[in-house]
């Protein structure tokens, strides 16, 4: 019955993982889960101080063995040269990558908000307040970097996939926002919706070598993009009480989902968007004027 024991179904022992955005937020949550279950992890982040923080090994980033289990790569994933540099460093230090997790992301909000009942002029201003630069930057980080990281590291992930047991897993972090019609954050929503479809495209393209591609679509989890303080201007935590769960997600719930997709337990899963949102999509909707 050992094959039914959780420590065997969800094991990461002897596996290598690369996590972008790994210095904070969701990436750090997943890194902690991988470490606790035996993986060797490379953290990728564009901020050196976040990587330096992990280098000091605070108590919440626990390893089960030597310092060799943790390595770091700094790179700006909004730039082609930055992505190429990250790929080059990882290829120089890895022969295989059992799981590639891409958490790096940005959320750009329209600079002018529109409230139902306001004038047509205000609606025009709100729609035009998203700049070309913000939309371009959102797609560079949220979508383009994921595509080109996968393309650059596909040989390493494919080499791991030949061993079976759930290896050769690609996880793209999308968002529940890819599936609801919240208003005036189109740069974020469009780029995340594109990730959802990219998952299906790549899962199909890579099927012959059974390199698995899935996304995790989080709802409200604490991160730099979504601070816990509900009064913070960039936080959506004010919506937590309106969801069936009545709370944000926990670090353990995020880590558990990534572990499932990266371990023998999830070896039969590919081409899927896994929403973990405490029921937010059941109640999330845009607003329309009462005049309509």
Please report, in tens digits, the pLDDT of each residue of the chain (292 residues total). 888 898 899 999 999 999 999 888 999 999 999 999 999 999 998 755 555 555 544 445 544 444 457 888 999 999 999 999 999 999 999 999 999 999 999 989 899 989 888 999 999 999 999 999 999 999 999 999 999 999 999 999 999 999 999 999 999 999 998 998 777 789 999 999 999 999 999 999 999 999 999 999 999 888 776 666 666 666 677 777 788 989 989 999 999 999 999 999 999 999 999 999 998 888 876 666 544 4
Bridge partners (DSSP) of residue 115 are: none
Residue 165 corresponds to which tokens in the numbers above? 């047991």
Q: What is the pTM of this model?
A: 0.90
Residue 208 corresponds to which tokens in the numbers above? 């012959």
Q: How many helices (H) and strands (E) does the chain have?
A: 10, 7
Report the alpha-carbon angle 97-38-43, nearest 5.
Answer: 50
Neighbours of 231 (CB within 10 A): 8
Three-state SS letters, 57-95: CCCCCCCCCCHHHEEEEECCCCCHHHHHHHHHHHHHHCC
Going along the chain from its start, the domains and CATH numbers come out as: 2-106+141-279 (3.40.50.720)
């Amino acid at each position: 019955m050992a094959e039914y024991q959780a420590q065997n179904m969800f094991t990461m022992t002897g596996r290598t993982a690369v996590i972008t955005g790994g210095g904070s937020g969701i990436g750090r949550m997943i890194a902690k889960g991988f470490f606790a279950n035996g993986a060797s992890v490379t953290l990728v982040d564009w901020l050196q101080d976040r990587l330096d923080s992990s280098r000091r090994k605070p108590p919440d980033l626990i390893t089960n063995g030597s310092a060799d289990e943790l390595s770091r790569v700094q790179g700006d994933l909004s730039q082609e040269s930055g992505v190429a540099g990250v790929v080059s460093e990882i290829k120089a230090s890895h022969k295989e990558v059992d799981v590639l997790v891409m958490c790096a992301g940005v959320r750009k909000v329209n600079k002018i908000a529109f409230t139902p009942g306001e004038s047509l002029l205000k609606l025009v201003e709100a729609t035009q307040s998203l700049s070309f630069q913000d939309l371009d930057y959102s797609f560079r980080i949220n979508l383009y970097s994921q595509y080109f990281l996968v393309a650059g590291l596909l040989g390493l992930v494919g080499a791991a996939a030949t061993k079976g047991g759930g290896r050769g897993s690609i996880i793209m972090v999308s968002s529940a926002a890819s599936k609801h019609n919240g208003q005036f954050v189109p740069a974020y929503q469009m780029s995340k919706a594109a990730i959802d479809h990219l998952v299906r495209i790549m899962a199909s393209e890579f099927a012959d070598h059974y390199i698995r591609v899935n996304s995790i679509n989080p709802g409200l989890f604490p991160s730099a993009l979504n601070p816990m303080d509900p009064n913070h201007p960039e936080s959506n935590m004010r919506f937590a009480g309106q969801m069936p769960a009545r709370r944000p997600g926990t670090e353990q719930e995020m880590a558990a989902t990534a572990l499932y997709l990266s371990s023998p337990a999830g070896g039969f899963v590919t081409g899927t968007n896994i929403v973990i949102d405490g029921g937010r999509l059941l109640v999330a909707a845009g607003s329309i004027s009462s005049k309509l």
